[in-house]
Structure 1
Amino acid sequence: MLRNRLLTAFPEAHFTYGYITTVQRKKLGLAKAHYRDAVAISGIQQIIEEPNSVVMFDQFRTKKRSLHEATALRGRKQKNATQKRVKKNTKKVKGWCLNDYVRISDGRCGFITGFSGLWMAHM
């Protein structure tokens, strides 16, 4: 169903499959990685120089979309995901924002992925 809708929307598009990508990637002499698979799918015939840096994007949700959060708790009027008491969609706490890059005292670095209460953040 999805494939038919995509072909209708983009008639000039061509689909590829893992076994085809693997053959093309090996023909180009590339090791297995997602960005190298993208190079193999693109149709490039010869690799002159491999990049020495890669930019990767990480998508994260901005709202709670769990089914059990979408319905109001028994005896309540508001959905669990929008109640002020529960604070499910917290985007900022004490100047720290969701997806900020931080370094903690032991030297580890990472992105803030969520908050717990007033002082705790998940990394």
Structure 2
Amino acid sequence: MTILLKRVYEPAAADDGYRVLVERLWPRGLSRERARLDRWVKDAGASDELRKWFGHDPERWEEFRSRYFVEIQGRPAIIRELEEIIHENPVVTFLFAAHDEEHNNAVALREFMNAELKGHDPSGLH
């Protein structure tokens, strides 16, 4: 099983596998047709409060990750939903809207889910 990351604004490709938008807000200016999603898991995104605090500031990345991991651990139904998607599809692409491809909740979510799926305690990530 593989979890890829991709900006939702980039064209869909066959090797994306199952495409999952992991943002709380719908991406600006993007039609549902152009997004070509298989699923939108809104509650996998960071809370509005955390998202606004972070502001995609790389200086706040480590603290954002820690806070985001706490948030996502508090959403066991979302973790189960994502685990099911990952187990049912050999390739899953987490889609995100941020310009910064290294510091966004999809990056943190992939790290969290990879630890979870390997049986590691994701709480040890922060």
Q: Same fold (TM over 0.5)?
A: no
Could you tell me the TM-score, scaled by structure 1's length? Answer: 0.21
Larger helix share, 1 or 2: 2
Query: Who wins on radius of gyration, i.e. which is larger?
Result: 1
Could you tell me the TM-score, scaled by structure 2's length? Answer: 0.21
Of structures 1 and 2, the one scoring higher in RCO (CA 8 A, sep 6+) is: 2
